[in-house]
């Protein structure tokens, strides 16, 4: 069963589900939602803050990115809190595969710095130009 909202995906992660699987399931559910109102509702409730700063920042970036991509008209206020921003840069091209590790060359870091969507870069997350594309290709 797919998560009803991003908050539920984070709850699943805290209960032991692999982050990549829980977030990919959420992205699929979001894409398959029947209306923009349903999509907005999936982002409205703030996910709990975890002890994982990268995860907290990542879910903020995902929510803002999806709200803008789908032109939902409103970005939830919870995404703008300081807890949703990293203190240090995180360069990743595989956030849904092995998102805690960084095995990148200097050239790849430079590429990610300039290609990362604003919703991610503003949180000090530097990733691919289409960061949620890989979520759909990962097994649940």
Q: What's the domain range around 18?
A: 6-131
Q: What is the pTM assigned to this prediction?
A: 0.86
* Residue 21 maps to a domain: yes
* Residue 104 maps to a domain: yes
* Residue 137 maps to a domain: no
Per-residue pLDDT of 90-105, as tens digits, reads 888 665 545 555 566 6
In this model, does residue 132 exceed pLDDT 70?
yes
* Domain total of the chain: 1
* Residue 136 maps to a domain: no
In this model, does residue 127 exceed pLDDT 50?
yes
Q: By the 8 A CB rule, do 42 and 4 touch? A: yes
* Residue 139 maps to a domain: no
Q: Average pLDDT of 63-89?
A: 95
Q: By the 8 A CB rule, do 22 and 139 touch? A: no
Give the pLDDT band of residue 107 (cuts 50, 70, 90): confident
What percent of the chain stands above pLDDT 70? 85
* Residue 140 maps to a domain: no
In this model, does residue 30 exceed pLDDT 70?
yes
* Residue 10 maps to a domain: yes
CA distance 5 to 111: 32
């Amino acid at each position: 069963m797919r998560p009803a909202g991003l908050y539920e995906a984070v709850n699943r992660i805290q209960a032991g589900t692999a982050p990549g699987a829980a977030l990919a399931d959420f992205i699929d559910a979001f894409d398959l939602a029947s209306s923009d109102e349903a999509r907005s509702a999936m982002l409205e409730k703030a996910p709990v803050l975890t002890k994982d700063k990268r995860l907290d920042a990542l879910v903020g970036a995902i929510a803002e990115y999806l709200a803008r991509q789908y032109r939902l008209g409103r970005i939830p206020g919870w995404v703008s809190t300081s807890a949703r921003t990293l203190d240090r840069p995180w360069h990743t091209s595989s956030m849904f595969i092995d998102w805690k590790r960084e095995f990148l060359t200097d050239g790849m870091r430079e590429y990610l710095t300039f290609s990362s969507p604003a919703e991610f870069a503003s949180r000090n997350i530097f990733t691919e130009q289409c960061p949620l594309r890989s979520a759909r290709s990962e097994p649940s």
